[in-house]
Every structure is written in structure tokens, then in C-alpha cells.
Amino acid sequence: MEPNDYKVIEDVIGKDLAIRLVSSLPYRSKRVTGFWRHRSLYVPKSLKGKSADRLVAVIGKDAAALLIQEFGGEILSPSYPKSRYLAFRNASIVEQRKGGVSIEALAFLFDMTDRQIRNVLKSL
């Protein structure tokens, strides 16, 4: 797979789970002539093993089974449009703030500053 692995993943498991999955992936760095970062995901061939356990922990057994059925044994390089992620992140911040989570706790959870959290809350 490539050009837009994120979109294909989203089509299989849905927007919310795709964002959750991609945002949970660590960046991989490689130095060639410059510096670049990317995310990669190995989709196991079955629901057995450590790779499958990690996948199930992030998106659940049903969604993991769908991914395995569609992409089993492949390595995907998903990256999603920043605007989609920001909209999802900002909605999560607002929802959790309405639930009573403090600004300091939100800043910690989303790896942001208190001021950035307040700006997100003010903009929506």
C-alpha cells in the first residue's frame, strides 16, 4: 500500500479508530541526505502474537480483525491530514473539559501547554 494508507485504513475501520491507531504509532526517523520522520504499521497475518495484541489494545478485536483480513502481512505507512487530527484532538479537549478535567491535566494528556489548551477552548 502507499499513497494514502491512512485513507484506506479509515475506509476499513472508520474515522475515529483510524485516528486513534495512527496517533498511537511512534515516529520512525531515518537520516539519508536530510532528516525525515514517518509512521509505519505492521499488520499481522492473524490475531495471535505480540503485534496483534498491540493492535487489539489500541483499536479493539473487531477492528483489528478487519485490518488483518484486509492487510494481513503488509507494512503500512499511514499519515493523516493534520486538519483531521486537529479537529479530532480539539473536539476531545472540549469534551473532556466539559466532563470536568482540569486545564493542567488536559495539557499533560495532549502534550500541550496550558495556554494552548485555553486557546483551543476559546476558539470553539
Q: What is the pLDDT of residue 86?
A: 82
Rounded (5°) CA angle 77-88-83: 65
Task: Return the percentage of the chain with pLDDT > 90, whole number.
Answer: 51
Residue 39 has pLDDT above 80, yes or no: no
What digits encode the pLDDT tens for the residues 100-112? Answer: 999 999 998 888 8
Which tens digits make up the pLDDT trace of 47-94? 999 999 999 999 999 999 999 999 999 998 887 667 767 888 899 899
In this predicted structure, the answer to whether residue 3 has a pLDDT above a threshold of 60 is no
Q: Summarize the confidence of residues 39-44 as an average pLDDT.
A: 88
The predicted pLDDT at position 80 comes to: 63
One DSSP character per residue, the chain reads --TTHHHHHHHHH-HHHHHHHHHHSPEEEEESSSEEEEE-EE--SSS-SHHHHHHHHHH-HHHHHHHHHHHTT-EE-----HHHHHHHHHHHHHHHHHTT--HHHHHHHTT--HHHHHHHHHH-
Residue 33: its pLDDT value, please? 46
What average pLDDT does this structure show over 24-39? 63
